[in-house]
Structures are given as C-alpha cells and as structure tokens.
C-alpha cells in the first residue's frame, strides 16, 4: 500500500494551503518547521561542498530558515512551489545572493532563532562520510549538487527513522545486521544460515525479517518523498528525479 492512497495531504501541501486564518497558518508553520528540521543537513552539506566553512554554512542555513519561517506565507505564484526541494533551492540561492544585506538587517533588528541546530548534530554530519562535506565542488552544476545532497538527506532520514523504529522494539541489532541487505546482493545459503544463527532466528524467520525490513523501508521512503510534494501523485516523479540526480556523480 502506498502512502498516496492513505494520506491525501502531505506536509508540503499543508504549508502551501495556509489560508491566512489562525488554524491553517499554525498548521502550515508547524509543517514547515518539521520539513526544515528534516532537510537542513541537505542545505548544510550543499553549502559546505560549495566551499563554505562549517561555521559559515551553519550560520547561513540558520539564517535562511529563520527568514523562511518568519514569512507570512510561502511565495504565492511560484513555479517551483509544487516541490519543496525545488522551492528550497531557489529560495536558498536567492538568500545567499543577498546574504550581506540580510546579515546587516539581522544585526539591526535582531532575529528570533526559530530553528536551532545543535552543534553535535552538525559535527555528526561532518564526521559522517555521507555528505562528503570535505570535498569542495565549486565547478559542478549547483542545482544537481543540491539535488544529490537532498537525496542523501532523504535516505539518511529514512534509514535513521527506520533504525529508531527497530530500536524501540528492541531490535536495533537486527536492523544493523539486516540493513546492508537493502542494497547488497541477496545473501547465499551460507551467509543466510550464519546470519540466522547470529540473530537467533530460524531460516524462514530470517527471510520474513528481511522482507519486513524491506517493506517498512520502502513505506518510509515513499512516505518521506511524498511529504515534500504538493500532490502525493507527484512522488513517483520526484523519486525518479532524485534517482537521476544521483547518477550525475557517475565518473565518465
């Protein structure tokens, strides 16, 4: 079952549907906050790869989100508004271009820190090879670089969420042992029996566990993609877009 069939509204659609009244505005704001919190590693990773220092990048993301959340509503007739990712890229681009002016404005008026990034979270990203923050890429296409970081952020978020789910059930070890099977080749008989023994499962139970993990992962992944598009029907397209963006990194 896809999420598209179950959830007619996505977070991003809730953001876009803010109608000016108190209820819908507060829902919109809460949804936007959730989305920003989920995707700030993508923005941070992007800025780092564009050559910003860790401190600089953190400041920029913080400033950008504060600015975004302080807005009354999201840019009205924006061509990119169907997808949160595309919207965020354009807005970030704009923000960084006007960084200086905004910084002075902030200094003058002071700003309310709506979204606080925790320092250790930032360091975790720096340590994690996932976003390749050390490798500066000033010459590549910024848009596809952004999309790649976005996709990685989406996947990391999905995996982390899934791990939490397993941990809550006391099955964190299962997750750590089985997660490589999300992409790796199917294990052969010997690997399967070793794995089953290690986890204290019967051979059939191991296969069931692998299946359940994959089903849950897929559900979470589709769910996460769907949250960033206005209409759940677009999530297939969005996933395909990200898939292609990741392919750009293939060495020619």
Report the interface residues with another protein, using CB under 8 A: 1, 6, 127-130, 132, 134-135, 148, 151-152, 154-155, 159, 176, 179-180, 182-186, 188-189, 192-193, 201-212, 214, 217-218, 221, 239, 242-243, 246-247, 249-251
Q: Give the residue with the Cβ less far from another protein, 1 or 79.
A: 1
How far apart are CB 57 and another protein at their closest, in Å? 18
How far apart are CB 128 and another protein at their closest, in Å? 6
Q: Give the residue with the Cβ less far from another protein, 10 or 133.
A: 133
Q: Give the residue with the Cβ less far from another protein, 28 or 225.
A: 225
Closest CA to 34 of 65, 77, 6, 3: 65
How far apart are CB 229 and another protein at their closest, in Å? 15
Q: Give the residue with the Cβ less far from another protein, 6 or 94.
A: 6
CB atoms within 10 A of CB 229: 24
How far apart are CB 252 and another protein at their closest, in Å? 11
How far apart are CB 237 and another protein at their closest, in Å? 13
Q: Give the residue with the Cβ less far from another protein, 92 or 222.
A: 222
């Amino acid at each position: 079952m896809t999420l598209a069939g179950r959830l007619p509204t996505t977070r991003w659609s809730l953001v876009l549907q803010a109608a000016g009244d108190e209820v819908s505005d507060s829902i919109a704001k809460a949804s936007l906050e959730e989305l920003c919190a989920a995707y700030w590693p993508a923005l941070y990773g992007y800025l780092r790869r564009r050559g910003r220092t860790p401190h600089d990048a953190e400041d920029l993301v913080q400033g950008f989100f504060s600015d975004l959340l302080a807005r009354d509503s999201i840019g009205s007739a924006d061509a990119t508004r169907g997808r949160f990712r595309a919207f965020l890229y354009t807005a970030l681009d704009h923000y960084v271009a006007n960084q200086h002016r905004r910084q002075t404005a902030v200094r003058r008026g002071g700003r309310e820190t709506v979204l606080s990034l925790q320092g250790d979270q930032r360091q975790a990203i720096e340590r994690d090879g996932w976003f390749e923050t050390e490798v500066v890429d000033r010459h590549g296409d910024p848009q596809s670089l952004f999309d790649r970081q976005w996709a990685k952020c989406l996947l990391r978020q999905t995996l982390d969420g899934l791990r939490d789910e397993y941990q809550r059930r006391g099955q964190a070890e299962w997750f750590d042992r089985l997660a490589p099977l999300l992409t790796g080749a199917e294990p052969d008989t010997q690997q399967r029996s070793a794995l089953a023994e290690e986890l204290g499962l019967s051979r059939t139970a191991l296969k069931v566990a692998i299946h359940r993990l994959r089903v849950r992962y897929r559900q979470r992944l589709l769910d996460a993609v769907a949250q960033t598009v206005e209409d759940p029907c677009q999530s297939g397209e969005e996933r395909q877009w990200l898939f292609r963006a990741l392919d750009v990194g293939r060495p020619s």
